């Protein structure tokens, strides 16, 4: 999945592709109009993995994305999504590490997110990217009553090569 994939931050003109991928992977998908509004705000960051050639052309397919709100040097990661047919190939890890590295370069000192307790694939992804559990929100998800684990990432969790692990090791 490495060849032909371009990682870059998203712009308002990517909103339709973003909404399309959201609709594929989430039951409560956000609309293209909402993404246009959010992508135009300084506090909202989103990055995507595009396929279909060496350049992230307008017609390239959005394979994965990560989105977050950025406030006072902290990210609250809202969603991480990978196209269903492309899961398990390392694309989510590659994109999330890119996103976190770039955010740290912009002064972000911490990222947090909530993840369903039973989502083993997401737990593995976040562990590969250096996230650690810092709490639990009981019965957080209204559709199932499932708990959410609160995870945290700090820049020192990444090595200089961008992979997860202790920076000093």
The CATH number of residue 97's host domain is 3.40.630.30
Q: Is residue 169 part of a domain?
A: no
Rounded to 5°, angle at Cα 65 from 64 and 71: 170
Contact call for residues 147 and 119 (beta carbons, < 8 A): no
Among 33-37, 58-62, 101-105, the range scoring the smallest mean pLDDT is 58-62
Q: Is residue 31 packed enough to be buried (19+ CB in 10 Å), middle (13-18) or exposed (0-12)? A: middle
Asked if residue 167 is part of any domain, the answer here is no
Q: Are 64 and 92 within 8 A, CB to CB?
A: yes
Query: Considering its fold, how many domains does the chain have in total?
Result: 1
| pLDDT above 70 (res 59) | no
Residue 166 is assigned to a structural domain of this protein: no
Residue 33 located in a structural domain: yes
Range of the domain at 136: 6-157
Q: What is the pLDDT of residues 85-134, one digit of tens each?
A: 999 999 999 999 999 999 999 999 999 999 999 999 999 999 999 999 99
Contacts of 16 (CB under 8 A, 6+ apart): 32
**Does some domain include residue 164?**
no
3-state secondary structure of 167: coil
Classify residue 122: in a domain, yes or no. Answer: yes
């Amino acid at each position: 999945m490495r060849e032909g994939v371009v990682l870059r931050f998203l712009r308002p003109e990517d909103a339709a592709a973003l909404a399309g991928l959201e609709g594929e992977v989430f039951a409560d998908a956000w609309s293209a109009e909402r993404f246009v509004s959010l992508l135009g705000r300084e506090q909202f960051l989103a990055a995507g993995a595009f396929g279909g050639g060496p350049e992230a052309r307008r017609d390239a397919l959005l394979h994965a994305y990560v989105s977050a709100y950025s406030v006072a040097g902290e990210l609250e990661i809202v969603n991480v999504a990978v196209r269903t047919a492309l899961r398990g190939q390392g694309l989510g890890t590659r994109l999330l590490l890119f996103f976190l590295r770039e955010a740290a370069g912009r002064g972000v000192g911490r990222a947090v997110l909530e993840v369903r307790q039973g989502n083993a694939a997401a737990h593995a992804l976040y562990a590969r990217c250096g996230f650690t559990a810092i709490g639990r929100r009981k019965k957080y998800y209204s559709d199932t009553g499932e708990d959410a684990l609160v995870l945290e990432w700090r820049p020192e969790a990444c090595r200089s090569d961008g992979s997860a692990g202790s920076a000093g090791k």
